[in-house]
Amino acid sequence: VDNRDQLLSFLDSEISQALSYHFSNNNVMVRHNEEYERVEGLDNGVVLHLKSGKKIKADA
């Protein structure tokens, strides 16, 4: 979860885009322009509650 519109915005945009591409290819999801509100622990993982009202479930 990243509260900016681009991953590592202080880097060259090509580097940022390449990193985003490799994350995506390895099933790593990056949510831009989002902030987390709280983390809910479950027996089989976690649920990340975002300030936008969205929820992300993940195994931990």
Q: Is residue 45 part of a domain?
A: yes
13-59 residue pLDDT tens: 899 999 999 999 999 988 989 999 999 999 999 999 999 999 999 88
Predicted local confidence at residue 60, as pLDDT: 65
What's the count of helices (H) and strands (E) in the chain, helices before strands? Answer: 1, 3
Q: Region 6-17: what's the mean pLDDT?
A: 88
> Would you give the distance in Å from CA 27 to the centre of its chain?
11
Q: Is residue 6 part of a domain?
A: no
Domain encompassing residue 49: 13-58
Give the count of domains, the chain: 1
Higher pLDDT, 53 or 4: 53
